[in-house]
Amino acid sequence: MSAGLLGDEGERYQRRPRLVAAPRVTLLAPWIHRKCRPNVDTGSEVSLATGGWGADREGSEQMRRTAAAIAAGALVLLTGCNAGDDGGASAQQTSAEQAAPAQVALTPADGATDVAPSTPLEITVTDGELGEVTVVDAAGAAVPGTVEDGADPAVADVWVPEAPLAYSTSYTVNATATNEANEEATAKTTFTTVTPAKLSTPSIGPLEGMTVGVGLPIRVYFDDPVADKAAVESHLSVTSSTPTDGAWNWFSDTEVHFRPSEYWPADTDVTLDAELYGVNFGEGIWGEKNRTVGFHIGARHVSIADAASHQMQVFDGDQLVQTFPISTGKPSNPSYNGPHVVTELNRNRVMDSSTYGVPVDSPAGYRTPVEYAVRISNSGEFVHAAPWSVAQQGHSNVSHGCINMSTERAAWFYDFSQPGDIVEIKNSDGGPLRSDVYDWTIAWADWQAGSALK
């Protein structure tokens, strides 16, 4: 079309540039973390628009830059809020990274051999808390037991089996522990118990349930010599219902006795715990089993036989109940001095000189039946009825070392006596007592020196 045809109205029909809307930036409030939108209403939006094509280009460019800046700020705001959401997890991660790992140490050490079955299974945990502890034998069978507090302050716990571990057996221990971050640590040890060359169980007196006198010591006899006396003695424990002192004394490599410094208190219960299973006696010999023996100390019976006055005083507790005329050992065969312990009561007995080395057919020999014989030593000394010496009783000493009484008096003393009673002989020419049980002739300081634990 030509310009003329348009005329004045042509300008009305002139093509105008199409208006293009400026970019709209919309920030929706729900995107923003609650902690980061204190001044923004829920569901509101912020809009930025440029003017039409006819607007000033410079202003339009400024509006674009403003919109871009606001959009960038919103993104920074959202990023910052999201970082706030992850703060707890990051702190936990840092705590886990900083928590020291738990450590578990086990004793016996892994691969240990010749371990005593009584050895404590010690568990020490650092920087954590003990979890599960399991023990199995070589066949994989579970070994029942419990975890207890260790006696040693440096050891946190000790695993204690329900029944003692066996000799010549392999065991595996597994233990777990967790630290503050609940991270688990594990430990494992496998060890083998010792194979003894020989097992030993000692004999013990008094016997279980006996009632004895105040002078009877505890005696423990071994079949084989004990090389490690301290190890054995440390596992012999004596307790009494009436408090008293006491100590062990080794009479030989196969015999050890226990007594208080003075006679036992009357009416007292005494218990010996011989915890010898798993104890190394030395020289390849190990304890076969544990034993407990309980007995009762009865009434206090102490008699004093004076070889010079030919009289014997009998005390029941602190009360003098009898004074008997007696005859003790003659000068050629005197009685021994010192506290004797009653060990045996015989209603009838044959006295035989050959039992202590004197042939029956020798000039000093004899074989004589007697009544009411109360043994007071293993050297042939008894308190017994001797009707043949009644005339000398109370006046002179004519026996072969025994204490002679009339039949009536001997019967009374027999009924009065119990194993463990004391008969002390004094003022004899026979010297100190020679017997298997001469415990009370030993001074207390010397007795204590006979302990392997001194």
Alpha-carbon distance of 38 to 270, in angstroms, equals 84
198-298 has CATH 1.20.120.160 classification: no
User: What does the block give as tokens for 384?
Assistant: 């017994």
Helix (H, G, I), strand (E, B) or coil at 282: strand
Positions of the chain with pLDDT under 70: 1-97, 154-155
The CATH 2.60.40.3710 portion of the chain extends over 198-298
Please identify which of the residues 301, 340, 384, 400 carries the catalytic annotation: 384
Cβ-contact 285, 197 below 8 angstroms: yes
What is the distance of C-alpha 417 from the center of its chain?
Answer: 41
> Other CB atoms closer than 10 Å to residue 8's CB: what's the count?
6
Please identify which of the residues 301, 310, 340, 402 carries the catalytic annotation: 402
At 356 the pLDDT is: 77
At 92 the pLDDT is: 54
Do the strands 422-426 and 301-306 form a parallel or antiparallel pair, or are they unpaired? parallel
Q: Based on the residue annotation, tell me whether 36 is a catalytic residue of this protein.
A: no
Alpha-carbon distance of 345 to 416, in angstroms, equals 11
The CATH 2.40.440.10 portion of the chain extends over 301-441
Report CA dihedral (365, 371, 376, 381) to the nearest 10 degrees. -10
Cβ-contact 133, 173 below 8 angstroms: yes
Helix (H, G, I), strand (E, B) or coil at 248: strand
Helix (H, G, I), strand (E, B) or coil at 217: coil
**Class of domain 301-441 (CATH, top level):** mainly beta
At 333 the pLDDT is: 92
Scanning the structure block, which residue is given the tokens 């006396």? 229
Q: What angle do CA 337, 338, 340 make, to 5 degrees?
A: 110
Alpha-carbon distance of 21 to 52, in angstroms, equals 6
Query: Long-range contacts for 148-154 (Cβ within 8 Å, ≥24 apart)?
Result: 150/120, 150/122, 152/122, 154/124
User: What does the block give as tokens for 2?
Assistant: 């030509």
Helix (H, G, I), strand (E, B) or coil at 182: coil
132, containing H or E segment: strand 129-137
Q: Based on the residue annotation, tell me whether 81 is a catalytic residue of this protein.
A: no
Helix (H, G, I), strand (E, B) or coil at 67: helix
Alpha-carbon distance of 276 to 256, in angstroms, equals 14
Report CA dihedral (52, 56, 58, 60) to the nearest 10 degrees. -20
Alpha-carbon distance of 249 to 261, in angstroms, equals 12
> Other CB atoms closer than 10 Å to residue 252's CB: what's the count?
10
66, containing H or E segment: helix 57-85
**Spatial CA neighbour of 408 closest among 383, 387, 381:** 387
**103-192: CATH number:** 2.60.40.3780
User: What does the block give as tokens for 413?
Assistant: 């003393």
- How far CA 183 is from CA of 106, 186, 187, 275, in Å, comes to 19, 10, 14, 41
Scanning the structure block, which residue is given the tokens 């011989």? 274
* C-alpha torsion sign, points 371, 375, 376, 382: positive
Q: What is the pTM of this model?
A: 0.75
Q: What are phi and psi of 75, to 5 degrees?
A: -65, -40
The CATH 2.60.40.3780 portion of the chain extends over 103-192
Type of residue at 194: V
- Give the length of the chain: 454
DSSP string across 339-363: EEE--EEEEEEEEEGGGGT--TTST
